[in-house]
Amino acid sequence: MKKFYIPASQNSKPENGDVICVNRGLYLHYGVYVSENNHVIHYTGETGPNDFNGVVRETSLNEFLNGAENFNICKFPERPILNNIFCSNKSHGIFKLIRAFQIFNLINYKLYSGAETVARAKSRLGENKYNLALNNCEHFAIWCKTGVRDSSQVDNILNLISNIFK
């Protein structure tokens, strides 16, 4: 259930403030590209990508890639994509909460310029509030670009769980 962005072609030249992602096998890892020094600001471990004590750090693009050869640049529309944004109508309380959060995200969506996106990312350098479900690398990067905290990966897991309880 992709909501706010569209993955673009692999390995295009990223521009300042682009949200980029790399496939790490079981998950996608996201960050904000900084063109002035070919760096990426992202949630990563204090000692590198294999340390899961997440901290917002600025690293080289090569460190962000962690051996991967390909990455995607996420493209964002002026307004959020509305197709399939709302989860199906469920009676469980968690699904009503998810629906309310999705509506809140629609209201708060704003597409920031590249410079604004980088400034927002830099404002959170050193933050160590990583949470896989509520504040992961995707939440961080999407928030920097749009003001919305969102993770399609978390949403996909919630959808999978909801299908189990149908």
Closest CA to 110 of 155, 80, 140: 80
The residue type at 7? P
Tell me the per-residue pLDDT of 81-111, one tens digit each, with 9 for 90 and over. Answer: 554 444 444 445 555 555 555 666 667 789 9
Tell me the per-residue pLDDT of 25-84, one tens digit each, with 9 for 90 and over. Answer: 888 899 999 999 999 999 998 766 666 678 999 999 999 999 998 899 988 888 765 544
Tell me the per-residue pLDDT of 110-156, one tens digit each, with 9 for 90 and over. Answer: 999 999 999 999 999 999 999 888 888 999 999 999 998 878 777 66
74: Cβ contacts below 8 Å, ≥ 6 apart: 5, 6, 7, 8, 18, 19, 20, 21, 30, 141, 145
Closest CA to 139 of 60, 28, 47, 37: 28
- Distance in Å from the first CA to the final CA of the chain: 18
Q: Is 42 helix (H, G, I), strand (E, B) or coil?
A: strand
- Phi then psi dihedrals of residue 33, to 5 deg: -80, 135
Residue 34 and residue 60: Cα distance in Å, rounded?
9
Enclosing H/E stretch for 58: strand 54-60
Q: 24-55: b or e for each residue (b if 16 or more CB lie within 10 Å)?
A: eeeebbbbbbbeeeebbbbbbeeeebeeeebb
Q: What is the pLDDT of residue 40?
A: 98
Q: Is 57 helix (H, G, I), strand (E, B) or coil?
A: strand
- Higher confidence at residue 154 or residue 22? 22
Q: What is the pLDDT of residue 96?
A: 57
Tell me the per-residue pLDDT of 7-19, one tens digit each, with 9 for 90 and over. Answer: 655 657 899 999 9
Q: What is the pLDDT of residue 84?
A: 44
